[in-house]
Structure 1
Amino acid sequence: MFDFFQQESFLDKVIFGNTVLRYLVSIGMFLVPAVLLFVLNKFVVSRIKKWISKSSWKLDDFAVDVFEKIVYPLIYAGLFFLAFNNLSVAGQYKALVNKTGIILVTIFAIRAVIMVLNFMIVKVAVKGEDDEIRAKSMKGIMGLIKMVIWIIGIILVLDNLGYKVSAVVAGLGIGGIAVALAAQAVLGDLFSYISIMFDKPFKIGDFIIFDDVMGTVENVGIKTTRISSLSGEEIVVSNSALTNSKVKNYKKMVTRRVLFKLGVVYGTPKEKLEKIPVIIGGIITAISGARFDRAHFSAYGDFSLNFEVVYYVEGNDYNKYMDINQEINFKIYEAFEKEGIEFAYPTQTLYVKK
């Protein structure tokens, strides 16, 4: 009985304004949920992670990542905050803890926003065979986005802590306008870079032509795009110049349409003229990778009877196209020579009146 009263008096003992019992309750408020959370993570969440690691779906990995890096720390911070508020402490200490809580919540909120944006931009918006290359390119603008988000977050924290930030915001606004005017060309290239990344008119490795420039895209940077020309030199072009120009992307070509014309002499008999479309159609049809479309006697020229031929080459390989084109030309020449059909060339007939 004496021990019980001694124990009761010990629990009622006041230390720094709180009884021992209140300290124990506060510790229990923090430790019990924390231990349960630890057990949950150890035996449940870890198994969920092993299960989703076998899945190709990106969203479940992202959800677990957010839970571990954002939700867990916030829960522990919240438990500590509740346990601390259960104690009777001086106002200045409680205010300090409240301000610390505001700072922590803001930091984790900023981290959550950055994680969501990073997931949307780098992992979701980037699709296709060039995922890895494009993801690395997209990370170039993530640094700028993170800087802007952190600046906004710091301003919000200062405002919530009672500091007057209106002058700072006004200063940033005026400074932003000055920087925007001074770096107008750079910002234009930056927005063009973002447009290229999302619109995807071309990618690294594509062969493009715009204005008088042609070559293979080697790198897409924040300000410039580097192109390797056919003659070997590297051409550096501003991103805004690309987005403001008509760009031909030959890498995305599925089939190449080829149109060519040839002329025969005016003395060619009608029977042989009628054979020409059939001869050309048979030659093209017999060649692998080429698809014949049409061949017609199209016009009377100044010195020739003109035929127009259209065919298609499957794929975007230029060397393959040139090989097929060469084979067609050789076989047409051979067939015309066999049939006695003469190719026309510029001639003039001069009549002399006596």
Structure 2
Amino acid sequence: MSVPTKTASNAHAAAEDPSIAKSLSDAEIFYDQTAGWIATHYMSIVIACSIGAVIIAVLYGLRMLGTRLCRREHVGHWPKIIGRAIARTNLFFIVTLAARLVSGYANPPAVVSTTIGFLFTVAAALQAAIWVRELIIGTVEYRAGDDDSGSSTLGSAIGIIRLLVTSICFIVAILLILDNIGVNITGLVASLGIGGIAIGLAAQGIFSDLFASLAIIFDRPFRRGDTVRWDQTVGTVESIGLKTTRVRATTGEEVVISNTNLLNKELRNLAHTMRRRATLMLGVTYQTSPETCRRLPDMVKAIVTAHDKAVFLHCCMINFGASSLDYELLFDVIDEDVEVFNATRHSICIEILERFAREGIDFAYPTQTTFTAAPDGRMIMPYAEIPAELLHKG
């Protein structure tokens, strides 16, 4: 009993299906040309393979260097991001790149050169997508902070950003591959564009808040734990989500506001105030002597400058009030912590009270003086009259 050979089986299949016949013919041509090329250019092929091996070793070494950059702690963020991208270099891309670089030296047949070019195009497109994805996501994660959990920053937003960036990068890579192998992608690109516009219009509000989340990541107007103020609301940021930000108001309730509306307002971040200014109004009685009034700013200045974190600006009389001589005191407290500011201002106020008590300076309070007349029409003054000799002496 005879066993049918592989050639006979191939010939039988080719006779039944013309497409199989064409594939078998292409394969035979590829085999014949490759065998003939190896037989006639074996020395050039060996040299090209040696050079290719050196190129692969160098590129693999660069990939290992990128991995080490990712693990180092005392380097900047950009070396880490670039190292992370380099570490994701695919071995398939390294091999096809080396083959592409040395293929011209070995003078391969057209079918072999075309195959190497096609594989390199596929590997380069996919590798470029991976590099771009790693660079973008690495930059976003750095701007978001080291801890990107949902409770601290925009963890949910970053997850969606990863998905969107990955999808866009690989869709573009696939389109480039199809275009390079001769596929007409005009209709496909148009369909993707129309679909993207429809999705964008349907989810306009969601995307608006998503981009507002990106603005918070990159611009950092505030972070979790910061005290912010907008409109009539003052509170501490508790969480920053994909669509909304939750703030615990000083009155106790939780305020939920969309990221878009929050960034459209005039927002004041009170957590990073390096210099806080205090303005105090001091009102003394009209019975205070001019000499004491003249010395009062120097007294207050000495009290303010005695504090390390306080910077004296000015203290001067600014008004003759209805029942007081009004002074304005201005000083800055150099510290971010609002409690330090409050403690410094409190201490200065207490020391002013103590100094004024020692000097006999009375603080004024709203008063009203009533003038009455005696039955004979003589004015009765509400205070003791000054002796005439003192008036002449003055």
Separation in structure 1 between the aligned mates of residue 329 and residue 293 of structure 2, nearest angstrom: 14
Partner residue, 2:93: 74
User: Paired residue for 1:320?
Assistant: 340
Following the alignment from structure 2 to structure 1, what is the Cα–Cα distance between the partners of residues 73 and 372? 91
Tell me if structure 1 keeps the 8 A contact 2:69–2:84: no
Is the counterpart of residue 172 in structure 1 residue 187 in structure 2? no
Runs of 5+ unmatched residues, structure 2: 1-28, 376-394
Correspondent of 1:197 among 217, 236, 239: 217
1:104 match: 123
Matched residue, 1:256: 276
CA separation in 1, counterparts of 2:125 and 2:34? Answer: 33
| % identity of equivalent residues | 28
**Is contact 1:134-1:197 (8 Å) kept?**
no
Instruction: Indicate if the aligned counterparts of 2:323 and 2:367 stay in contact, CA closer than 8 A.
Output: yes
Contact 1:277 1:295 in 2 (8 A): yes
- Distance verdict in 2 for CA 1:70–1:232, change over 3 Å: same
Aligned to 2:384: none
With the length of structure 2 as denominator, give the TM-score of the two structures: 0.69
Structure 1 Cα separation of the partners of residues 115 and 53 of structure 2:
27
Question: Does structure 1 residue 301 correspond to structure 2 residue 341?
Answer: no
Structure-2 change in CA distance of 1:80 and 1:60 (3 Å): same
Distance in 1 separating the partners of 2:216 and 2:65:
41
> Aligned AA for 1:17?
D
Within 1, Cα distance between the matches of 2:97 and 2:129?
17
Cα RMSD (Å) of the superposition?
3.9
1:116: which partner in 2?
135
Q: Deviations over 1:70-112 (max 9, x none)?
A: 37532412456759994686xxx99888655543332122112
Counterpart in the other structure of 2:242: 222
CA contact (8 A) 2:209 2:259 kept: yes
| Residue identity matched to 1:299 | N
* Counterpart-to-counterpart distance in 1, 2:291 and 2:235: 47
Q: What TM-score do the two structures reach when normalised by structure 1?
A: 0.76
Equivalent residue letter for 1:117: I
Q: 1:297 to 1:165 in 2, by over 3 A?
A: same
Deviation of the 1:194 alpha carbon = 2.2
Following the alignment from structure 1 to structure 2, what is the Cα–Cα distance between the partners of residues 180 and 96? 40
Q: Structure 2 counterpart of 1:349, which letter?
A: T
Per-residue CA distance 1:230-284 (angstroms, 9 max, x = gap): 4555433222122211121222211111111121222222222223212211111
Find the aligned partners of 1:75 and 1:64 in 2 and give their Cα distance. 16
User: How far apart, in 2, do the equivalents of 1:145 and 1:48 lie?
Assistant: 22
Q: How does 1:19-98 map to 2 (within 5 A)?
A: 20=35, 22-23=37-38, 25=42, 28=46, 31-37=49-55, 39-40=57-58, 56=75, 66=85, 69-70=88-89, 73-78=92-97, 82=103, 86=108
Q: Distance in 2 between matches of 1:181 and 1:50?
A: 44
Structure 2 residue aligned with 1:185: 205
The yes-or-no answer on 1:17 pairing with 2:32 is yes
Inter-partner Cα distance in structure 2 for 1:268 and 1:73: 91
Work out whether residues 130 and 169 of structure 2, in 8 Å CA contact, stay in contact via their aligned partners in 1: no
In structure 2, which of residues 301, 304, 313 is the aligned counterpart of residue 281 of structure 1?
301
CA distance in 1, matches of 2:34, 2:312: 96
Secondary structure in 2 aligned to 1:132? coil
Q: Which structure 1 segments of 5+ residues have no match?
A: 1-13
